[in-house]
C-alpha cells in the first residue's frame, strides 16, 4: 500500500532508531525521579513521548530543510530531494507525530500536558536556527537536553532544579558532537550563507570549541553526581563516558573527517547507553540495599 510504503520511507528518512541519543537520558531522568524504576505505565508513556517528539522534530527538519538538502551534495540523496517522498506527506506525518506526542503527554499528568507545546516549540525551532545564528548547535543541545527534565516531570508532576544539571550535560554533549558533525558542511554553509560554528571560526577553531563543550559536559555530570549522591557504579560510568569522549576526539581531526560517522553515530550512541546503564545499576543497587537519597 502506498501509505504504508510512505510511512516506512519516512521512518527510514528520519532514522527513528537514532532515538537512542535522547532516550537513555530521558530514562535516566525518570529513574532519578523515581529513585529506581518508575511504574511500567509511566515508563511506556515516557518512551512513547520521546519517540513521537523526536519523530515530529526530525520529520519537520527534513520538511523545513528540503531546499537546503537538495542544494547540498552531502544531503541531496535524502528522501524529499530525491523525490521518494513529497513535502506534503512529510508535513502531515510530523503533524500526526506531534499530535500523538501531546496526547500521550496528557496521559502522564497536568504539568506534562501544559509543558508539551513548549517542548514541541523548542525542538521544532532548531530547524530554523542555522538561518540566523552560528550557535544552532546549542539549540539542538537544548532540544535533546529537555528530555531528562521532561521525564522527571512525567514521574513526579513537579520540577526539581537538580535535574536541570543533567539537561545541561546533555546540552553540552549534543552541542559538542553537532559542532564536529557540521564541519562536514563547512564549504557548503559558507557558500549558502548558513550559520554554524565551523563556518564562523573555521574547522580547527570548531574542534577546540567542541572539546570545550565536552569538558563542560563532564563537569556537569560530576556536579550531577554530587547532587544525587552517586555510588561507585555511577561514577565508573562517568569515567567510561570521559574515556569514550577522548577516543571520539582522537579518531577525527580538522584535517581528517573520514571517521565522522563512527564518531557521531556509533560512539555517541554507546556513550548515551553507558551512562544510563551505569546510573540505573547504581540506583537499583542503592534501592535494593534500602539506602535513600
Distance CA 194, CA 185 (A): 10
| Cα gap 38→148, rounded to integer Å | 13
C-beta of residue 140 within 8 angstroms of C-beta of residue 169: no
pLDDT of residue 243: 96
The structural domains of the chain, ordered by start, are 2-289 (1.10.357.140)
pTM of the model: 0.92
The residue whose grid cell reads 539549540 is 139
The full length of the chain comes to 293
The pairs formed by 256-259 with CB atoms below 8 angstroms and a separation of 24 or more are 257/183, 257/184
φ and ψ at 130, to 5 degrees? -65, -15
Mind giving me the DSSP string for 162-210? THHHHHHHHHHHHHHHHHHHHGGGHHHHHHHT---HHHHHHHHHHHHHH
What is the spatial distance between Cα 119 and Cα 276, in angstroms, rounded to a whole number?
A: 22
For 212, residues 6+ apart whose C-beta sits below 8 A from its C-beta are: 176
pLDDT tens for the chain, residues 1 to 293: 566 676 676 666 666 555 666 789 999 999 999 999 999 999 999 999 999 998 899 899 999 888 998 888 888 888 888 888 888 998 999 999 999 999 999 999 999 999 999 999 999 999 999 999 999 999 999 999 999 999 999 999 999 999 999 999 999 999 999 999 999 988 888 888 899 999 999 999 999 999 999 999 999 999 999 999 999 999 999 999 999 999 999 998 898 888 877 667 778 888 999 999 999 999 999 877 655 44
Amino acid at each position: 500500500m502506498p501509505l504504508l510504503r510512505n510511512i516506512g520511507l519516512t521512518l527510514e528518512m528520519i532514522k527513528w532508531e537514532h532515538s537512542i541519543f535522547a532516550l537513555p537520558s530521558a530514562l535516566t531522568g525518570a529513574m532519578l525521579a523515581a529513585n529506581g524504576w518508575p511504574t511500567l505505565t509511566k515508563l511506556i508513556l515516557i518512551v512513547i513521548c520521546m519517540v513521537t517528539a523526536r519523530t515530529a522534530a526530525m520529520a519537520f527538519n527534513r520538511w523545513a530543510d528540503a531546499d537546503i538538502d537538495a542544494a547540498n551534495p552531502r544531503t541531496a540523496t535524502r528522501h524529499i530531494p530525491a523525490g521518494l517522498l513529497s513535502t506534503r506527506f512529510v508535513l502531515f506525518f510530523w503533524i500526526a507525530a506531534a499530535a500523538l506526542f501531546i496526547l500521550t503527554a496528557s496521559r502522564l499528568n497536568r504539568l506534562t500536558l501544559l509543558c508539551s507545546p513548549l517542548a514541541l516549540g523548542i525542538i521544532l525551532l532548531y530547524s530554523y536556527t542555522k538561518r540566523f545564528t552560528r550557535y544552532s548547535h546549542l539549540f539542538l543541545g537544548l532540544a535533546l537536553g529537555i528530555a531528562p527534565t521532561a521525564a522527571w516531570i512525567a514521574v513526579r508532576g513537579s520540577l526539581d532544579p537538580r535535574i536541570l544539571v543533567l539537561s545541561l550535560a546533555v546540552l553540552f554533549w549534543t552541542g559538542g558532537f553537532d559542532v564536529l558533525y557540521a564541519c562536514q558542511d563547512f564549504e557548503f554553509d559558507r557558500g549558502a550563507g548558513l550559520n554554524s560554528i565551523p563556518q564562523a571560526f573555521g574547522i580547527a577553531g570548531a574542534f577546540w570549541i567542541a572539546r570545550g563543550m565536552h569538558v563542560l559536559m563532564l563537569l556537569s555530570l560530576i556536579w550531577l553526581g554530587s547532587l544525587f549522591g552517586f555510588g561507585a557504579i555511577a561514577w565508573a560510568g562517568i569515567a567510561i563516558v570521559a574515556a569514550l569522549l577522548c577516543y571520539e576526539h582522537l579518531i577525527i581531526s580538522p584535517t581528517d573527517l573520514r571517521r565522522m560517522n563512527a564518531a557521531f553515530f556509533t560512539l555517541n550512541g554507546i556513550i548515551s547507553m553507558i551512562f544510563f546503564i551505569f546510573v540505573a545499576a547504581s540506583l537499583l543497587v542503592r534501592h535494593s540495599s534500602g539506602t535513600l537519597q
